Amino acid sequence: MSRTIIPRLLDIIDACNGIERTVSTVTSDQFKDDWTLGRAVERGIEIISEASRHIPDELKALHPDVPWKQIAGIGNILRHDYQSINGQIIWDTVQRDLGPLRAAVMDLIARQGLRVPGIWRTRLPPEAFEPLDPEDQAILEGEGTDEIGIWIGLPKDRDKSE
């Protein structure tokens, strides 16, 4: 995987997490009645849409169950056909699709043997990671950082046999 795609994948994870945090304490009716909340979630979806356009087709093919074409397309609808947006559809999409999308994107990172960058960058909850091995910690203290963040561990759902 090209290193340039990693920030795009992280943007998707970050937007999924931000949207989920934003709607976690509200009902569907509250969401539909709150203009600011709706626009914030729509902006998060726009970010996901734009970032998804930069994922190479060969990586998308690893997760054919993810509606990549629709994800890319919803950004255009939000930007250019905003008057047709239905709050219930946005709510249902968030509730149904963000978790699986995040899991697929984390898998795209993990399949390449890359570690997911630290919480400060992705805002992933600590329970989403396994602790680093002591050897990895030693690397962290030396050359284990880069322009993206600090490697804090592997996604828990990563198959260790790969």
pLDDT digits (tens, 9 = 90+) for 73-94: 999 999 998 888 899 999 999 9
DSSP 118: P
- Give the pLDDT confidence score for residue 146 in this predicted structure: 38
pLDDT of 66 > 80? The answer is yes
pTM of the predicted model, to two decimals? 0.70
Cα distance between residue 16 and residue 20, in whole Å:
6
- Give the pLDDT confidence score for residue 70 in this predicted structure: 95
- Mean of pLDDT values over 5-11: 85
- Give the pLDDT confidence score for residue 114 in this predicted structure: 60
- Give the pLDDT confidence score for residue 82 in this predicted structure: 85
- Percent with pLDDT over 90 in the chain: 53
pLDDT of 39 > 80? The answer is yes
Distance of CA 156 to the CA centre of its chain: 16
Contacts of 32 (CB under 8 A, 6+ apart): 38, 87, 88, 91
Mean residue pLDDT across the chain = 76
